[in-house]
């Protein structure tokens, strides 16, 4: 077993934040401008006792009366029964209602909107769907998921994201695409250049709206929505509900059905703890000892800066680990290659910055390590949500000096 020095103080009522520099356990995260976070808030033991109550879906995928080919693809992907968000929201999307979905990460949200929208396009071939996501990685993953659901169905899509060659995207836009998936900045650019005609689009999906706000994309989103036909179908998803999100819902949706299956800030499946380290050289030594343990088989490490992430990945590689990195200084193809290696288990470790890792959906990540402290508690929640997805267990460790 590895050796850790842990603080076992439990979070105080009121959330564990400290606005007082002298408060015990308070940290300004990573030297960035941000919240003071009490380190004890990074400690939470995953639930290991059997739950008394179990979710029982009201529907099976057969109940949704999907097209036969779509149902076959769903079964091929190993879907047996709907997740809570899928069970509750798919019927409303199929009816054509505007919907707001509030759900934790890893809850099957992407399938919750893709499946009924694929059915919609199959029934109404002239329908066109625009899907907006805050990051390149998430947009790419949504498009990949879409393609897997539409195998041999003659439905087509194009993914339009920044950091990738615009020429190829423009070429693909010249073909008939039932779905366009992309990031707001690149979509806005293509719309302004008249390569995307939104007059044909009757459905829009705004995914991870809270992250859109955090990353400053809402102005672009509003621009895009304003170019859609006056009557259109809107699907809106967010992991959190705030006054700003409520304002966006009023702006973008008409009489929406709101479905919330959010169970808490952090996943109950994630065992969270801290590792106390020495200030000079302690973090790297502690990390090295952890990664030598066999249970650390698929590890996502978060760092503060692009340079720091790249250097850490190189150091780990020099130490004999199979490691790669994703950050803003890498182009889209480099990031996709690094992510593919991690997904295929060709590398054990992926080192990433917060922005580069937004929306990552990689199965079977055993551990998330916060090598550098997050700037905010929301960032922490997002980071550790990469493990313990679905009904699987995961572990998150946060280094504290």
The model's pTM: 0.66
* Residue 93 clears pLDDT 70, i.e. is over it: yes
First to last CA, the chain: 22
Segment among 85-89, 199-203, 303-307, 381-385 with least mean pLDDT: 381-385
Q: How far apart are CA 384 and CA 378, in angstroms?
A: 10
Q: Which of 80-94, 214-228, 256-270, 303-317 has the lowest mean pLDDT?
A: 256-270
Domains of the chain with bracketed CATH: 26-44+266-400 (3.40.50.300), 61-260 (3.40.50.300)
> pLDDT tier at 81 (50, 70, 90 boundaries)?
confident
Residue 361 banded pLDDT, cuts 50, 70, 90? confident
pLDDT for res 62 = 80
Pinpoint the alpha helices (H) of 29-178.
68-76, 84-95, 109-123, 136-149, 166-173
Do the beta carbons of residue 181 and residue 159 sit within 8 Å? yes
State the Cα–Cα distance between residues 27 and 18, nearest whole angstrom. 8
Strand, coil or helix: 75: helix
For 318, residues 6+ apart whose C-beta sits below 8 A from its C-beta are none
Instruction: Report the alpha-carbon distance of residue 116 to residue 103 in Å, rounded.
Output: 17
């Amino acid at each position: 077993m590895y050796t850790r020095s842990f603080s076992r103080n439990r979070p105080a009522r009121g959330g564990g934040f400290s606005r007082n520099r002298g408060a015990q356990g308070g940290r300004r995260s990573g030297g960035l401008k941000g919240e003071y976070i009490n380190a004890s808030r990074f400690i939470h033991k995953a639930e290991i006792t059997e739950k008394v109550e179990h979710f029982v879906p009201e529907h099976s995928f057969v109940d949704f009366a999907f097209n036969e080919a779509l149902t076959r693809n769903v079964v091929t992907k190993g879907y047996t029964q709907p997740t809570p968000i899928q069970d509750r929201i798919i019927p409303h999307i199929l009816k054509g209602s505007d919907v707001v979905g509030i759900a934790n990460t890893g809850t099957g949200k992407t399938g919750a909107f893709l499946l009924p929208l694929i059915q919609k396009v199959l029934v109404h071939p002239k329908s066109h769907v625009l899907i907006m996501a805050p990051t390149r990685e998430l947009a790419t993953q949504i498009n990949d998921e879409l393609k897997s659901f539409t195998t041999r169905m003659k439905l087509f899509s194009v993914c339009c994201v920044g950091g990738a060659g615009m020429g190829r995207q423009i070429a693909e836009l010249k073909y008939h695409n039932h779905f366009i998936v992309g990031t707001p900045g690149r979509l806005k650019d293509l719309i302004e250049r008249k390569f995307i005609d939104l007059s044909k689009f009757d459905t829009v999906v705004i995914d991870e709206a809270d992250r859109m706000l955090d990353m400053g994309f809402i102005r672009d989103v509003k621009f895009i929505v304003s170019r859609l036909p006056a009557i259109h179908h809107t699907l809106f998803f967010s992991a959190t509900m705030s006054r700003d999100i409520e304002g966006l819902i009023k702006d973008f949706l008409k009489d929406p059905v709101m479905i919330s299956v959010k169970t808490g800030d952090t996943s109950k499946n994630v065992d969270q703890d801290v590792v106390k380290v020495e200030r000079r050289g302690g973090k790297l030594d502690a990390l090295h000892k952890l990664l030598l343990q066999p249970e650390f088989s698929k590890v996502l490490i978060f760092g503060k800066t692009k340079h720091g992430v790249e250097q850490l990945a190189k150091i780990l590689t020099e130490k004999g680990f199979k490691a790669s990195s994703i950050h803003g200084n890498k182009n889209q193809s480099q990031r996709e290659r690094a992510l593919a290696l991690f997904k295929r288990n060709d590398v054990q470790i992926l080192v990433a910055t917060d922005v580069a890792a937004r929306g990552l959906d990689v199965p079977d990540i055993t551990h998330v390590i916060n090598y550098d402290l997050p700037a905010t508690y929301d960032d922490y929640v997002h980071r550790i949500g990469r493990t313990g997805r679905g009904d699987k267990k995961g572990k998150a460790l946060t280094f504290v000096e």
